[in-house]
């Protein structure tokens, strides 16, 4: 039963990502001033962020688990938290690069002093600091405990930073600083039919990568 469910969601994730890749480039999109064809980047750029936050949430869950469990179980939870954070960081960089390319064509620069961009940079720095912390402690149990406490502390502040603060200040991003969200004007039903599958597909793919890396880590021990 468990095996069947596992195969089902992985197949669904692979199918959704494949569909979003094909439809993302081929399906019709609204003709919008300045955005033009770059609006297709919505199918690639935004799902990267959703996946990053989802995987950081997974990492947070395992870190909380690591703090609550004793002995070996704590170490195993911590290992999963680390792997989820690593994959989240990859998606963060993918989101950053796709965003920079989009910004170049719509705002005229690869980087602007936008709160959302600053938030992204800080989220990446926070998780790089998490890995620096891990590498500076030798004892595995101590490493697990310190890294888990930092992960919990950092995740909450990061969510405030990337989720709450941009909405209170001026931003070039849709849905922030009083700008209308994408859904209000630009995202028609045709785009929704590609965008939401892309989000769920990439999140599924991200979780699958974490699972594969965990199996690899267990095998290599």
What residues line the site for another protein (CB under 8 A)?
A: 67, 115, 118, 122, 125-126, 129, 132-133, 136-137, 142, 145-146, 148-150, 152-154, 156-157, 160-161, 165, 168-169
By beta-carbon proximity to another protein, the closer residue of 32 and 160 is 160
Smallest separation (angstroms) from another protein to the CB of 146: 6
Smallest separation (angstroms) from another protein to the CB of 155: 10
CA atoms within 13 A on the CB side of 64: 10
CB 146 within 8 A of CB 78: no
CB 191 within 8 A of CB 42: yes
Smallest separation (angstroms) from another protein to the CB of 1: 36
By beta-carbon proximity to another protein, the closer residue of 27 and 165 is 165
Smallest separation (angstroms) from another protein to the CB of 206: 22
CA–CA separation, 36 vs 40, rounded Å?
9
* E-strand stretches of 131-218: none
By beta-carbon proximity to another protein, the closer residue of 10 and 134 is 134
Structure token digits, residue 69: 């469990």
Q: What radius of gyration do the chain's Cα atoms show?
A: 19
Classify residue 178 by burial, with Cβ atoms within 10 Å: 0-12, 13-18, 19+.
Answer: exposed
Smallest separation (angstroms) from another protein to the CB of 152: 6
By beta-carbon proximity to another protein, the closer residue of 41 and 63 is 63
By beta-carbon proximity to another protein, the closer residue of 161 and 202 is 161
Smallest separation (angstroms) from another protein to the CB of 102: 23
**Inter-axis angle of helices 42-68 and 2-26, to 10 degrees?**
150
CB 13 within 8 A of CB 5: no
By beta-carbon proximity to another protein, the closer residue of 47 and 95 is 95
């Amino acid at each position: 039963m468990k095996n069947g469910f596992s195969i089902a969601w992985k197949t669904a994730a692979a199918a959704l990502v494949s569909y979003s890749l094909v439809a993302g480039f081929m399906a019709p999109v609204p003709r919008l001033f300045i955005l033009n064809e770059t609006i297709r980047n919505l199918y690639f750029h935004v799902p990267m962020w959703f996946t990053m936050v989802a995987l950081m949430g997974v990492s947070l869950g395992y870190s909380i688990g690591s703090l609550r469990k004793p002995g070996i179980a704590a170490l195993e939870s911590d290992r999963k938290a680390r792997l989820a954070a690593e994959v989240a960081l990859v998606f963060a960089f993918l989101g950053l690069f796709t965003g920079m390319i989009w910004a170049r064509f719509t705002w005229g620069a690869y980087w602007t002093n936008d709160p959302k961009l600053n938030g992204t940079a800080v989220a990446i720095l926070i998780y790089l600091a998490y890995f620096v912390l891990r590498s500076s402690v030798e004892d595995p149990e101590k490493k697990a405990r310190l890294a888990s406490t930092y992960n919990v502390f950092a995740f909450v502040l990061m969510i405030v930073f990337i989720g709450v603060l941009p909405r209170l200040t001026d931003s070039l991003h849709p849905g922030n600083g009083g700008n209308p969200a994408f859904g209000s004007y630009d995202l028609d039903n045709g785009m929704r039919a590609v965008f939401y599958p892309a989000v769920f597909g990439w999140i599924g793919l991200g979780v699958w990568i974490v699972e594969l890396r965990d199996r690899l880590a267990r095998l290599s021990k």
